[in-house]
Amino acid sequence: MSLHTLLFVTAALSLCVCCTCTPSYFDKILLHSRIRGSKQGSNVCAVQHVEGTDKKYFSNCKQWYSRQICGKPTVVSYECCPGYERVKNIEGCTAISPIVNMHETLGKVGALSTKSFSNQSELQLRLEGEGVYTMFAPSNEAWQLLPEEHRESLLSNINVELLNALHYHMVTQRLLTGDLFSGAVLTSMYEKQPLYINHYRNGIVTVNCARLVKPNFLATNGVVHLIDRVIGPVSNTIGEIVDYYEELEELTKLVNKAGLQDMLSADGPLTLFAPSNAAFAKLSQTTLRRITNNPEELKALILNHVLHTMRCTESFLGPTPLHSAEGAKLTVNCDAIGLKINGNINIQRKDVVATNGVIHIIDELIVPDAVKDMVDVAETYGVNEFTKLLTRVGLRDRLSRGDSITVLAPKNEALKELPRMPQHESKKLAEQHLVQGRYLSRDLYHGQLLESLSGTSLRVFVYHRALCIENACVDIRDKPMRNGALFILDGIIRPPTAPIIDILSSDKRFSILVNWFTRAGLHEQLREPGEMTLFAPTNEALQSMAPAKLARLRRNREELAEFLRAHLSQGVLVRGGMVPVGTNLVTSTKGTPLEVKVVNIHV
């Protein structure tokens, strides 16, 4: 490694990975922003401003390079890191801000509306007096976002309603971001109502799903965090909220039918992507009926809308992979238009906070593969040649009813090369790729025999980097479907039809080799049942050996046998089981090491 790359690597590490201390996720992001801003002077932080919005973020590594947040371009600006100020004519932010009381600090973070409400409601007296507080202070824009009538009702009763609302944003302790960990429930000053904290790996911190846009402004008697929304007390569970919303009537019915109402009311944290009535109407009603009449499928469908974590929408800054409670992968993306789940499902109403998590209402069902028909799942993964074959030989219906089945579907390219064959042969071929029972790769082991519908047993081979069924290796594994699972193979399964010696004998290219095995007395070994791999030299290869060596092998039977044993190894090593780059180490039956490398020549 050259000095240059070494320096680069060290620099990259110090920028993107944290040091030996264990700061909070937010602190790590701030550290990164500070390093990015350091060229502009000391205590300068790089901030990414999302174009066309008023959103600003301290920059993490990924965003720094992509200059994008949620698919929207960002502009970098340089600001004083929290707690520092500029001094005239001096580069950077060299002055440490004087610490003032909470009320004055509201002014410093720019929470001018909150400051003015504090004055009007006489909260100011408290914020200037004895005690210690944390205040999640709504920004000016946050107050503007509040529905008109809501704002008016607060402002028409300043000494009760507005003061209560402000107290709900406060805690009687000084809590910095390092103290605000995910799952923390704080006790607010308004009737001890709970405040729900989330602190995500990407440095986003939320309280009741409102984002801390400017955290940690220290005051003499506490700390102010500027937040992007006005928050209100939360008193219902997800289950209760779902029950209450008319647009979630369908969901309520099915949750009850599936017996999952307790789960939605149990302790969280949970996220529910709640499909609206309209979402249920979008699914084919036959499919919906089929799913809802099958308890397992109904349960899988509903659990696919649940996460065992609380994800507020502010925590999504780019494509975010998630795991549903059903076990499937979901991706939440945010782009210029808005938030989407799995590419096309819209979040219509976001961040309805509950005592045990959060609800986002969505306009389409997130149907897990586990409740889809084989054909639909197969076509999702692009293996429609195999489903065409199943239709042609009349096996397609067999898959949508009855016992569970594991489908080992060869990829399209493999089936396209197939010559025409009589119907009964096509059917047998198709059946050879269907296995009784539902298997996932975690259920399979080396040497296992799988019973195919054709009656042929298929051998399973487990390799370091591959899982193979006979000669065909798995490209895509473990896709669940109704009544079973789907694997996609790199080729057609061709179960063995004869022992090694017979296969060699039927191929003219190996006539010398067969002759040598016979002469060395090893020829029966190639007929016995067992597992071995023969690296078989062709006539051409054998004839190209040095004449002296050839002559010796012809003369000396012992030496010939040794020579042949060096080409044999224990166990079955199929081509797809070898690593394509690098060396596959194999021991020959002679005891010598063989270094097997893959080259792209088809025999």
* Helix, strand or coil, per DSSP, at residue 303: helix
DSSP 8-state class, residue 313: G
Q: Which is nearer to ligand NAG, 124 or 525 (CB)?
A: 124
Q: What tokens does 27 get? A: 């602190």
What kind and span of H or E run contains 449? strand 449-451
Residues 213, 16, 6: CA angle, nearest 5 degrees: 160
Q: Residue 541: helix, strand or coil by DSSP?
A: helix
390's CB contacts (< 8 A; 6+ apart) are 375, 396, 399, 430
CA 108 to chain centre: 40
Residue 129 gets the label, from left (phi > 0), alpha (psi -120 to 50) or beta, of: beta
Residue count (the chain): 603
Least distance CB 230 / ligand NAG (angstroms)? 21
Shortest Å distance, C-beta 103 to ligand NAG = 8
Sign of CA dihedral 8, 10, 12, 14: negative
**Shortest Cβ distance from residue 340 to ligand NAG (Å)?**
46
The CB-of-166 to ligand NAG minimum distance in angstroms stands at 13
Query: Binding to ligand NAG by residue 237, rule CB under 6 A?
Result: no
**Residue window 60-99: x/- pattern of binding to ligand NAG, with contact defined by CB under 6 A:** ----------------------------------------
Bridge-based pairing of strands 68-69 and 210-219 is: unpaired
Question: Dihedral (C-alpha) 325, 401, 487, 602: value to the nearest 10 degrees?
Answer: -170
Nearer to ligand NAG, 14 or 220 (CB): 220
Task: Give the three-state DSSP class for 460.
Answer: strand
User: Cis omega (within 30 of 0) on the bond before 529?
Assistant: no
CB of 218 to ligand NAG, least distance (A): 22
**Least distance in angstroms from the C-beta of 121 to ligand NAG:** 8
Q: 121 or 198: whose CB is closer to ligand NAG? A: 121
Between 130 and 267, whose beta carbon lies closer to ligand NAG?
130
Nearer to ligand NAG, 130 or 246 (CB): 130
Coil, strand, or helix at residue 188? coil
If the CB atoms of residues 38 and 119 are measured against ligand NAG, the closer one turns out to be: 119
Residue 460 structure tokens: 């399973």
Distances (CA, A) of 526 to 449, 589, 603: 21, 13, 21
Least distance between ligand NAG and beta carbon 20 (Å): 46
Q: What is the DSSP string of 273-287?
A: EEE-HHHHHHS-HHH
Residue 325 has φ and ψ, to the nearest 5°, of -65, -15
Helix (H, G, I), strand (E, B) or coil at 402: coil
CB of 253 within 8 A of CB of 285? no
Minimum CB–partner distance for residue 232 and ligand NAG (Å): 24
- CB nearer to ligand NAG: pick between 169 and 433: 169
Q: Which of 410, 305, 278 lies closest to 367 in space, CA to CA?
A: 305
- For ligand NAG, give the closer residue by CB, 119 or 384: 119
Q: Identify whether the C-beta of residue 93 lies closer than 8 Å to the C-beta of residue 41.
A: yes
User: Which of 143/273 has CB closer to ligand NAG?
Assistant: 143
H or E segment and range at residue 427: helix 423-431
What would the two tokens of residue 505 be? 């004998």
Least separation in angstroms between CB 72 and ligand NAG: 40
In the complex with ligand NAG, which residue's Cβ is closer, 25 or 143? 143
Nearest-approach distance from CB 113 to ligand NAG, in angstroms: 14
116 vs 346, which CB is nearer to ligand NAG? 116
Least separation, in Å, of the C-beta of 116 and ligand NAG?
8
Number of chain positions touching ligand NAG (CB under 6 A): 4
Site for ligand NAG in 104-163 (CB under 6 A): 119, 122, 124-125
Residues that bind ligand NAG (CB under 6 A): 119, 122, 124-125
